[in-house]
Amino acid sequence: MSVRSRVRYWLDEPVPIVRLEIVRIAMPLVVLGFMWARVTHADHWLGAAGFRVPDLGGDWRQPLYVPPLPAWAAWSIGVAMVASGVATSIGWKTRASAFVFSATLFFGALSDRLAAYSVSKLSPVIILALAIGPAGRMLSVDGWLHTRRTGKHWKTERPSGAVRFLQLLPVTLYMASGIAKARADWLHEPLVLYSQIHGSYQTPIAYFLARVIPRPLWTVLQGAVLTFETTAPLTFAWRRTRPFALVFGLGMHAMIGLMFGPVVWFALLMITLLVAGYLPEPLLARFIDLTSRARGPRGDRSSTSSRRDPARRARRATSREAS
């Protein structure tokens, strides 16, 4: 098979929609957790009550000047953000709510550069992918209403560019982040990790580890993180190394969340993407079979266990090539 055919096959191959549903359920909650401090002070965040950076007329640090909103508008956006986020998470009018949620997140990130972090920049794109993709078909209010109306379940597998995008996103982030680290200090400064765990982000766990971990181990951990990030495209692409990469990634983000205070929301965002994108199919299959059993005998019963049948995969690939 040529590279192009392989890519097309990979993109068009039916994938378990539950991957998208994991993101749909967990991501809005993570994002709202991050945004909560902002939303509860919406008049300071988006309105005129707080400090606003003036219009700097094209300064590189100000991607777009958005004038302060009246207090009522700032609070309205906060309420819309929370309502649409909750609706997306429970899968109620999923597409519309995800579009609204994504729009409020885009606005929030652009309106206030001072309160914008990686979560602010990544989350609108991820939620937009949910809005475009077939999210809200399983474990959702929409799915339940559909079944009640038609007597059928939506398919649990189908081709989805959104799932593929959400699988590629963390790997691209790791690779880019690893390259940036290697180009900066991580290859010649032995204590970059240690130097980052002081200051106002420091949690009790970080404080404890800063005192007990010996100097060489900090350098070993730093090397392990750098290797993991720069090789992520290979380790996540190759089936044999994927489980190890997944476990390392989850462990790394768990430690980041435990050691860096407010960075916990970014850690949870990445954990959600990793679990949704790379949880092994046997585990997903078991989960889908369980939910299918709970949903009863109606509708589509295909599950990922049949996708693991090599004969079926080969037949599908052959028929696709022939077509």
Q: What is the binding site for another protein (CB under 8 A)?
A: 11, 37-38, 41, 44-45, 50-54, 56, 59-61, 63-64, 106, 109-110, 112-115, 117-118, 121-122, 124-125, 132, 161, 165, 168-169, 172-173, 175-181, 183-186, 189, 191-192, 194-196, 198-202, 204, 207, 210-211, 214-215, 218, 261-262
Rounded Cα distance between 209 and 251, Å, is 15
Q: How far is the CB of 14 from another protein (least distance, A)?
A: 15
Q: Which is nearer to another protein, 39 or 138 (CB)?
A: 39
Token pair, residue 130, equals 């949910």
CB of 284 to another protein, least distance (A): 23
Q: How far is the CB of 37 from another protein (least distance, A)?
A: 5
Measured from the CB atom, the residue of 198 and 308 that comes closer to another protein is: 198
Q: Work out how close the CB of 194 gets to another protein at its nearest, in angstroms, rounded to a whole number.
A: 6
* Residue 259: exposure state from Cβ atoms within 10 A (0-12, 13-18, ≥19): buried
Give me the amino acid identity at 199.
G
Name, in order, each residue with C-beta under 8 angstroms of 308's C-beta and a sequence gap of 6 or more. 281, 282, 285
Smaller CB separation from another protein, 141 or 175 = 175
In the three-class reduction of DSSP (H, G, I as helix; E, B as strand; rest coil), residue 261 is classed as helix
C-alpha to C-alpha distance for 50 and 280, rounded to whole angstroms: 47
**Closer by beta carbon to another protein, 87 or else 128:** 128
**H/E stretch holding 15:** strand 15-16
- C-beta neighbour count of 54 within 10 angstroms: 8
Pick between residue 147 and residue 202 the one whose CB is nearest to another protein: 202
Least distance from another protein to the Cβ atom of residue 286, Å: 30
Cα–Cα distance measured from residue 61 to residue 64, given in angstroms and rounded to the nearest whole number: 9
